[in-house]
Amino acid sequence: MNALPDDCRVVAVCGHEAAHGEALRDLETLGVVVVSSGRELYRAVAERRPGPEQLCVVPMTLGRDPRLVADTARTLRALPGGEGSREPRALLAEPFGTTTHLIAWLRAAASRVPVTSSLLVTAPAGDPFDDAELYRVASLVHRYGHHALVEVAFTGGDPDSAEGVRRCLLLGADRVVLLPAAFAVPRSPAVPGPADRTGVRIECAGPPVSRAALIRVLAERVADARRRWSERADDGITAGLTAADDHGHGHTHPPGEGHDHGHDHPHDHDHDHDHGHDHPPGEGHDHTHPPGEGHSHSHMHRHPSGEEHDHAHSHPHTHRHSDDVHSHSHPRPHPHAIAEGADRAVRSSV
């Protein structure tokens, strides 16, 4: 689907990746309501308009802001006639994208930049976990690309774009290309020390998703949400509430420490320790094409044979008993290039 439906009012709810809506104002020319999360979203959705039109809310994240999805779900649940109603006030679509999509989009953009250039992956600053995710994204763009130098910078954060450029120049770069990892496109900073930097070029590659692709993906999300409601009476809110459950402080323990916490939530411990990696049905291989874009591959695993694919691994947990000593033997971890399971898959019809 390439066009937004006429009988459905689309609300694009934005967080820091879209400068809280400012980066996507041009969508309003298509009839899309662009709002930030919270009260602005509530007012936009609670407003009743004449006619039989549906209302669909799309969280405009590229994967680094799962809290935007959860906050949007909570706002929609608070509306009269919300979750579980025969005719819900609004449908919650799946997020615009995931970090898997973002990596593929950035790799496609990087492929159009000369390999002699240095890349500076930039995005508006979020919370510490959103910012840490940008480093992971940039690392994968670097690993599976051909550019020798890939740095990270934040708009409104540390390091900012000017500092990121300075680092690239100190490392010997004479051309730095800003690669936005968000809807918001930063301004190219001035070259530091211009008297000593003759011939240095600083450019911006533009947004990771073209306007045409953005509209196509937005239409896909709306169509999927409406189909889900018509087929299963699922308004998407329940799933959205859990979007940020795995986002935040890692629940890890140093060696020798116990599992003594005062948390209210239960911890399920499977003594078999089956460390499997789950994939949605039909998505056994991570051969990702960015939604709305061309044939760009995001290979998450590299094997010596040259085949790059994504599959589940089960690491058995062996118990050995000798003189009442309970020891555990773990096999060596599979030598994959990246950590798996970090992304929540979002289906695209492309």
Distant-in-sequence, close-in-space partners of 107: CB < 8 Å, separation ≥ 6: 141, 144, 145, 296, 297, 298
pLDDT at 298 over 90: no
Two tokens at 316? 């058995």
pLDDT tens-place string over residues 146-185? 999 999 999 999 999 999 999 999 999 999 999 999 999 9
Residue 181 is predicted with a pLDDT of 97
User: What's the pLDDT tens digit per position in 312-326?
Assistant: 444 444 444 444 444
What pLDDT, in 10s, does the model give residues 86-125?
667 899 999 999 999 999 999 999 999 999 999 999 999 9
Which tens digit of pLDDT belongs to each residue from 223-254?
Answer: 999 999 999 999 999 999 988 776 554 444 45
The reply to whether the predicted model has a pTM over 0.75 is no
pLDDT at res. 72: 96
In degrees and rounded to multiples of 5, residue 108 shows phi and psi of -65, -40
Indicate if the pLDDT at residue 205 is higher than 50.
yes
C-alpha–C-alpha distance, residues 260 and 165, integer Å: 45
Residue 276 CA to residue 179 CA, distance in Å, equals 34
Closest to 114 in 3D by CA, of 174, 188, 189 = 174
Residues 6+ apart with CB under 8 A from 73: 92, 236, 237, 238, 239, 240, 241, 243
308 has pLDDT over 90? no
Confidence of residue 79 (pLDDT cuts 50, 70, 90): confident
Mean pLDDT taken over the chain:
77
CA distances (Å), 196 to each of 149, 170, 191, in order? 21, 12, 10
Per-residue pLDDT, 89: 80
d(CA 42, CA 239): 19
Name the band, by pLDDT with cuts 50, 70 and 90, for residue 6: confident
